[in-house]
Structure 1
Amino acid sequence: MRYMATYDLMETVRNTNQWLGATAKTMASYPAFSLFPNPALEWAAAWGEVTERTFERMVVKPDWGIRTFTCEDGKDHLVNVETVVEKPFGDLIHFDVSGRKEQPRKILLVAPMSGHYATLLRSTVKSLIVNCEVYITDWHNARDIPVSAGKFDVEDYTLYLMEFMKEMGPDTHVIAICQPAPLTLAATAYLAEMNPDAQPRTLTLIGGPIDPSAAPTEVTDFGHSVTMGQLEETMIQRVGFKFKGVGRMVYPGLLQLASFMSMNGERHSQAFKDQIMRVSRGEASDHDAHNRFYDEYLAVMDMPAEFYLSTVERIFKNGEIAANEFVVDGHKVDMGAITNVAVKTVEGSKDDISAPGQCVAALDLCTSLPDDMKASHLEDGAGHYGIFAGKSWRNNIRPLVLDFIDANAGPKKPVVAKKAKLKSVGTDAA
């Protein structure tokens, strides 16, 4: 499948379905047809509207939609999305609230590179921006990155995180959501060993696969049931001529979306049937619950092939993080080097992506960290999404994380740096 024709075929199917939806909507909405009322025409127009929107949003990066914020002074302040560090495969951005005094909590949200854009964490950002300075990693769609930008694998991802942490300074509190948790732990350990003055104050790992073998799920079972050759042959495609990244090998977002949808196929099918009926009855709206969810869920991005393959091989199959055998840029990273960064893990009891036990394994890896700087929380009844963006996050987890941050926001203990030279991370490193 590693051909442009395969990639272009998927895009052709998507484009065709979008066109069919638009055509059905337009034809069934002709004014002349209103002379002969027919429920079938109303249903056809509704089907066309839902179908067009469904396939159209798959190739559009959602907007953050965070434009104003009401501060304690009772006034609405504009929120500006500012780029702090710009790099080929991802930027560090800051949500700057105009006219508001800088908040003491400076938080770096590490967003997943797992098929969705960083905007998936929009509600998480909104909940933290109330009394925090929020920064986030905004990863780019691989199909739009020219081949000349080079490769991007798990080591480059880790180096990016290190550069972002150094840019923000030692007063940073890092929160890694899901997939990047093991690499964020590695980046923190690398800084602790090589450049301790750049370490963050706290590290919170939420629902991440630190040790995937600790609690097997469908995701981990899939990783062990296929060979790397099978993955490369069936999952990797080459970007077509339509995009800037023409020729780049990627794991297509549309293929990832198909995997997501298949896990809960009946639920998604019923959701779209219900939405078509709501549209036909005039009960739907542009920002109803269905559209709010699927506008984000269906917006997918391509991942660099080397990042996807190295994640499966090194994190899931070989368990390099769990075994403390992870190597970055020729240097073996020792998680035991973390001695001065408070670490907290958060898991959901009903998480079917990163099951309980996978994330809390990080605390055992931090062998040199005092017990009073370690914490863990298991949220009863919470699934994967709920622990960082749902009701469980809003009502229980967010307050606990902020309390943990505040409890460890005091002056750091002095750390003696090891005599080692940290390589600079520039654009070429990617």
Structure 2
Amino acid sequence: MRYMMSYDLMETTRNMNQWLGATALSMASYPAFSAIPNPALNWLAAWGEVTERTFQRMVARPDWGIGTFTCEDGKDHTVEIDTVLERPFGDLIHFRVVGREVQPRKVLLVAPMSGHYATLLRSTVKSLVENCEVYVTDWHNARDIPVSAGKFDIEDYTLYLVDFMREMGPETHVIAVCQPAPLTLAATAYLAEQDPEAQPSSLTLIGGPVDPDATPTEVTDFGRRVTMGQLEETMIQRVGFKYAGVGRKVYPGLLQLSSFMSMNMDRHSKAFMDQIQRVSSGEASDHDAHNRFYDEYLAVMDMTAEFYLSTVDRVFKKGEIAKNEFVVDGHKVDIGKITDVAVKTVEGANDDISAPGQCIAALDLCTGLPDSKKASHVEPGAGHYGIFAGRSWRNNIRPLVIEFMNANSRPKGKAKRSKPKIAAV
């Protein structure tokens, strides 16, 4: 499965299903059939519409959908997305509210690189734009990055974060969601040693596997159960001829999606059958609950093979960050060197992906940080998604994070600039 044939076969299958859906919709909607109403044709048209949209969105990058924002003055202001730093594997972008005064809180939202685009954090961004200057790590789809751009593993990811923090300055408040939590912690420690004046003011880690063995889940058990050879043989493929990254080794988004959906196949199957019925009876809409969720959920991106494999090997299997043995660019990072960056962890009591205990382990690693600069919160009844995008985030967690930022803000200053250390680009 490591070769282009497998990648192109998956894309061919996806494309064929999209075509079948479009064909069914066109055929069942033929004007002559309207003369004699037939429920079977209505159902076929509905099946075609849902099927075409389902397979089409798998290769479409979702839009941020944040065009305007109503400010305290009661007026709608345009939101412009500016690229602050541009890199081959990911950019630093800024959500600038036109015509509004610059907000005192500058937030770097570190998006996960785990199969979905940064737009997965759309609702998180919307909630923070209200009274913060929001910056986001916008990771690129590996299939669109030429092989000439080089490799990208977890060390390169960490160095990207280091450069993003340097660019934004010491008054920045960093929020890392899910997968990047341990690497963001490592990037902060790297700065504490290499460029202390560029450290952020605070670091909030939300639902991340800092110590995956602290509370085992199905995800961590999988990482322990399979060998690296098995993962490379069954999960890694080369990008096909259709994309700019032809020949690059990746963990394909379509393969990731099949893994996501297999965990709750009954629920997903019922959701699609119900949607077909709603479309058939005229009860569905373009932006109903089903489409809002699956437009994002089904939009997947490829990860570089070296990033995926090094994450499993070094974070989950060897636990390098949990043991404070992580090495970046030949330098052993000591998390204990973080001495004045306030650190807060947030976990969901019902999180079955990164269970309570995995993220709070970061506080024990910060041996050089006084207890007054440490905080933690476990949200009762919240699952993984709810702690950064659901009702629990909006009503309970976000106010606590804002309060934590306010309590640990630094005066605005100019960070010491160092030569960027982006590896292998």
Scaled to the shorter chain, the TM-score interval is: over 0.9
Code of the residue aligned with 2:405 in structure 1: it is: I
How far does residue 422 in structure 1 lie from its aligned partner after superposition?
Answer: 7.0
Q: Which residue number in structure 2 is paired with residue 125 of structure 1? A: 125
Code of the residue aligned with 1:88 in structure 2: it is: P
Counterparts of 1:17-416 in structure 2 under 5 Å? Answer: 17-410=17-410
Partners of 1:40 and 1:153 in 2: how far apart? 51
How far does residue 339 in structure 1 lie from its aligned partner after superposition?
Answer: 0.1
Partners of 1:266 and 1:400 in 2: how far apart? 36
Code of the residue aligned with 2:157 in structure 1: it is: Y
TM-score (norm 2): 0.98
Q: Contact between 2:24 and 2:44, CA under 8 Å: does it hold in 1?
A: yes
Q: Which secondary structure does the structure 1 equivalent of 2:383 belong to? A: coil
C-alpha distance after superposition, 1:300-358 (max 9, x if no partner) = 00000000000000000000000000000000000000001000000000000000000
Partners of 1:8 and 1:212 in 2: how far apart? 34
Q: Which secondary structure does the structure 1 equivalent of 2:409 belong to? A: coil
Q: Which residue number in structure 2 is paired with residue 429 of structure 1? A: 424
Distance 1:329 1:140, change over 3 A: same
Gaps of 5+ in 1: none
Q: Which secondary structure does the structure 1 equivalent of 2:290 belong to? A: helix
Code of the residue aligned with 1:425 in structure 2: it is: K
Q: Contact between 2:220 and 2:316, CA under 8 Å: does it hold in 1?
A: yes
Q: Contact between 1:194 and 1:422, CA under 8 Å: does it hold in 2?
A: no
Q: Contact between 2:213 and 2:220, CA under 8 Å: does it hold in 1?
A: yes
Partners of 1:410 and 1:203 in 2: how far apart? 13
Code of the residue aligned with 2:266 in structure 1: it is: E
Partners of 1:251 and 1:238 in 2: how far apart? 9
Q: Contact between 2:149 and 2:424, CA under 8 Å: does it hold in 1?
A: no
Q: Contact between 1:115 and 1:256, CA under 8 Å: does it hold in 2?
A: yes
Q: Contact between 2:349 and 2:381, CA under 8 Å: does it hold in 1?
A: yes
Partners of 1:342 and 1:75 in 2: how far apart? 35
Q: Which secondary structure does the structure 1 equivalent of 2:324 belong to? A: coil
How far does residue 34 in structure 1 lie from its aligned partner after superposition?
Answer: 1.3
Partners of 1:255 and 1:180 in 2: how far apart? 21
How far does residue 423 in structure 1 lie from its aligned partner after superposition?
Answer: 6.2
Q: Contact between 2:171 and 2:410, CA under 8 Å: does it hold in 1?
A: no
C-alpha distance after superposition, 1:180-237 (max 9, x if no partner) = 0000000000000110000000000000000000000010000000000000000000
Q: Which secondary structure does the structure 1 equivalent of 2:213 belong to? A: helix
Partners of 1:123 and 1:422 in 2: how far apart? 34
How far does residue 400 in structure 1 lie from its aligned partner after superposition?
Answer: 0.3
Q: CA RMSD in A?
A: 1.4
Q: Which secondary structure does the structure 2 equivalent of 1:37 belong to? A: coil
1:5 equivalent to 2:5? Answer yes
Partners of 1:344 and 1:424 in 2: how far apart? 27
Q: Which secondary structure does the structure 1 equivalent of 2:193 belong to? A: helix
How far does residue 284 in structure 1 lie from its aligned partner after superposition?
Answer: 0.5
How far does residue 410 in structure 1 lie from its aligned partner after superposition?
Answer: 4.1
Partners of 2:70 and 2:8 in 1: how far apart? 45
Q: Which secondary structure does the structure 2 equivalent of 1:95 belong to? A: strand
C-alpha distance after superposition, 1:124-147 (max 9, x if no partner) = 000000000000000000000000
Partners of 1:358 and 1:270 in 2: how far apart? 32
| Runs of 4 or more consecutive aligned structure 1 residues displaced over 2 Å after TM superposition | 421-424
C-alpha distance after superposition, 1:213-267 (max 9, x if no partner) = 0000010000000000000000000000100000000000000001110111111
Code of the residue aligned with 2:38 in structure 1: it is: N
C-alpha distance after superposition, 1:381-427 (max 9, x if no partner) = 00000000000000000000000000111459xxxx9xxx976324x
Partners of 2:319 and 2:208 in 1: how far apart? 13
Aligned length, in residue pairs: 423
**Among the aligned pairs, what percent are the same residue?**
80
Q: Which secondary structure does the structure 2 equivalent of 1:212 belong to? A: coil
Partners of 1:423 and 1:231 in 2: how far apart? 36
Q: Contact between 2:178 and 2:206, CA under 8 Å: does it hold in 1?
A: yes
Partners of 2:181 and 2:366 in 1: how far apart? 14
Code of the residue aligned with 1:429 in structure 2: it is: A
